[in-house]
C-alpha cells in the first residue's frame, strides 16, 4: 500500500485573537489541516498543540437531516457544552441569525436547501464562544447579507475568545475577514503573511 501524506512538514504558530485564512488549490491539504488541528486526524509525525478546545465547523457538520431545524439547534448547542438554559436563551438568536423563512425551523433538515443548511450550521456554531474556531467553506453558500453578518460575528468571536481559522475559495471573503493568510501548496507552507500580499501572489501564480 502506498502512503500519501496530505500535509508535509507544515509548521506555524497562531495567536489568540488572530483570524487566519488558509488558501490553496483543490487537494492542497487545507481541509486536512483543519481536521488535524481539530484532533480528528492524528498526525503521522509531529503534533498539534492548542491552548483550549478546537471546534470544527464545515458544510458537512453533523446535523441530523431527519430532525427539524429546531431539534438540531437544541442538540447542536448541547453538544457544544451549553446548558439547557443557555440553549433556550440563544434559540431565537440562532434562528434570526440563520435567516430561515417563516415556519422552516419546524421542517426536517432534509427539506432545506444547501444554503439554508449552511446558514443554520454557522448560526449554531457562532452562538458559543470558542477557544479555536475552525471554519471549512461554511460561508460558501451564503448571500452577501449573510456573509456580512458572518464577518461581523467572526470579529466578535475573535475579541471574545481565541483564534479563528477560515478555509474559503472566495478570496474576497478571506481578504475581508482575516488578518493573516497561509498559502498551502501540495501540503507544504508556500507563504505566510498579510492577506493582501499572500492573496496577490497566489492570484498571480494560479490565475484565480
Which pLDDT value is given to residue 66?
92
The SS3 call for residue 17 is coil
pLDDT of residue 1: 46
**Rounded mean pLDDT, 98-119:** 88
Q: pTM here? A: 0.73
Q: What percent of the chain has pLDDT over 90?
A: 29
What are the distances in angstroms from CA 208 to CA 21, 129, 172, 199? 16, 34, 12, 10
Q: What is the pLDDT of residues 39-63, one digit of tens each?
A: 777 766 677 777 777 877 754 456 7
Q: How confident is the model at residue 70 (pLDDT cuts 50, 70, 90)?
A: very high
Q: Which residue has the higher pLDDT, 90 or 143?
A: 90
Return the CATH fold of 19-43+50-206. Answer: Rossmann fold (3.40.50)
pLDDT in tens, 163-198: 889 888 789 888 888 999 999 998 889 999 999 999
**Average pLDDT over all residues of the chain:** 83
- Enter the C-alpha cell of residue 102: 417563516
Amino acid at each position: 500500500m502506498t502512503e500519501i501524506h496530505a500535509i508535509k512538514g507544515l509548521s506555524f504558530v497562531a495567536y489568540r485573537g488572530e483570524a487566519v485564512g488558509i488558501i490553496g488549490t483543490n487537494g492542497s491539504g487545507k481541509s486536512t489541516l483543519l481536521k488535524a488541528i481539530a484532533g480528528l486526524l492524528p498526525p503521522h509525525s509531529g503534533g498539534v498543540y492548542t491552548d483550549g478546545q478546537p471546534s470544527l465547523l464545515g458544510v458537512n457538520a453533523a446535523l441530523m437531516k431527519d430532525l427539524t431545524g429546531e431539534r438540531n439547534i437544541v442538540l447542536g448547542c448541547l453538544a457544544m457544552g451549553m446548558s439547557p438554559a443557555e440553549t433556550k436563551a440563544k434559540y431565537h438568536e440562532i434562528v434570526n441569525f440563520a435567516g430561515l423563512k417563516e415556519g422552516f425551523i419546524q421542517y426536517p433538515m432534509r427539506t432545506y436547501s444547501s444554503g439554508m443548511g449552511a446558514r443554520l450550521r454557522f448560526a449554531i456554531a457562532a452562538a458559543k464562544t470558542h477557544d479555536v474556531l475552525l471554519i471549512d467553506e461554511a460561508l460558501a453558500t451564503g448571500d452577501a447579507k449573510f456573509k456580512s453578518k458572518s464577518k461581523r460575528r467572526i470579529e466578535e468571536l475573535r475579541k471574545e475568545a481565541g483564534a479563528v481559522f477560515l478555509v474559503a475559495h472566495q478570496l474576497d471573503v478571506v481578504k475581508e475577514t482575516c488578518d493573516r493568510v497561509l498559502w498551502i501548496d501540495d501540503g507544504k507552507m508556500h507563504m505566510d503573511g498579510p492577506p493582501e500580499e499572500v492573496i496577490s501572489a497566489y492570484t498571480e501564480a494560479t490565475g484565480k
